[in-house]
Amino acid sequence: MIGTQQIVRVLISSAGRRAALLQAFRGAGGDSSRVELHACDLDPGLSAACALADVAHRVPRCTDPTFIPAIDRIVRDHGIDLIVPTIDPELPAYAASADRFADAGARVHVSAPGVIHTVRDKLRTMQVLQRAGVPVPPTWDERAVRASSSDLRWPLFAKPVAGSASRGLAVLADPDDLPPAFPEPMLFQPCLIGPEYTVNMFIDQGGALRCTIPHRRLQTRAGEVEKGKTERRADLARIASQIHAALPGARGVLCFQVIDDRETGPRVIEINARFGGGYPLAHHAGARFADWLVDEVTGRPCRAHDNWRDGVTMLRFDDAVFQG
């Protein structure tokens, strides 16, 4: 405690370039709490977010078996209250270890292991959502595409089943574009044409969907929105409710991508069970998910709401952190 303020220690995991997310948490305590920001990365000396944090930590790669023990030491040594993962590959390890961190006094911002298992497999995601009545595009695995190539409507969009950050995406004009083999499992969908949206969701710790905020992706870079604008759309809010029902173990922040195809209407193409790169736009528009997570960690009533500002535009630009 400092005076009457409670100190809340937040660890941003795999912090990298997530400076805007870190800054969102810096002001999340309001009048009653001060957030002490910790950040970890493979090389904290080369991470902008680590440079801006109050305390930076070096950790192994998230797929290394020593990753979770390293995070556990940080939690116990520094009294971390909340761990915020930021990349898809670390979610399974955190989901499997949530009880371990709870015993150490820290909440991990992660959904149940079953949810992570689903969303980390983009083919399984489409199957689960389709069964739940969520509008998704037709989706095939590689075997089905090769077996029925002459019956499909080309071109097809191909992406890795476990991909992220726009890695491995391809448009195949016809069956002749299929390579002899792919380096990893792939899924295939029709090429949808229309504006793309990210829809951010906040689900409280009791499992209630409290906020849905879509933004139109006006321009992207490396898979993240660079220019975007919030749009209040009842159809996208309904889809969020369907996804919420399809993934009962979801908690905290999730975001999903939608293409509003000119022929079929909105179709969900993937889900991320974490803070998305475009979260700063939602935060600025009034959907302050970071604040609401801090509320939950400190035991205060959650202030989550759906009264965010429509028509807010974000124009991102490059900035720098200087050392020495």
**CA-to-CA separations, 172 to 15, 178, 194, 295, in angstroms, rounded:** 35, 7, 18, 47
Q: For 260-296, how does the pLDDT look when each residue is reduced to its tens digit (9 = 90+)?
A: 999 999 999 999 999 999 999 999 999 999 999 999 9
Per the CB < 8 A criterion, the answer to whether 229 and 223 are in contact is: no
Q: Which of 70-84, 162-176, 235-249 is the least confident region? A: 162-176
Burial class (CB in 10 A: 0-12, 13-18, 19+), 78: middle
Distance (Å, rounded) from C-alpha 316 to C-alpha 56?
A: 25
Give the architecture-level CATH label for domain 6-109.
3-Layer(aba) Sandwich (3.40)
Q: For 9-43, how does the pLDDT look when each residue is reduced to its tens digit (9 = 90+)?
A: 999 999 999 999 999 999 898 877 899 999 999 99
Residue 149: band (very low, low, confident or very high) from pLDDT cuts 50, 70, 90: confident
Per the CB < 8 A criterion, the answer to whether 185 and 162 are in contact is: yes
pLDDT at 1 over 50: no
Distance (Å, rounded) from C-alpha 51 to C-alpha 31?
A: 25
| Whole-number average pLDDT of the chain | 94
What is the reported pLDDT for 224?
A: 82
The domain segmentation of the chain, as residue ranges, is 6-109, 116-122+193-315, 138-190
pLDDT at 237 over 80: yes
Please state the pTM of the whole predicted model: 0.94
Instruction: Give the residues across from 214 on adjacent strands.
Output: 199
Q: Which residues contact 169 (CB under 8 A, 6 or more apart)?
A: 157, 158, 159, 163
Residue ranges with strand state E in the chain: 6-12, 33-41, 55-58, 82-84, 107-108, 140-141, 156-160, 170-172, 186-190, 196-203, 209-221, 224-230, 252-261, 265-272, 313-315
Does the structural domain 116-122+193-315 have CATH classification 3.40.50.800?
A: no
Per the CB < 8 A criterion, the answer to whether 70 and 41 are in contact is: no
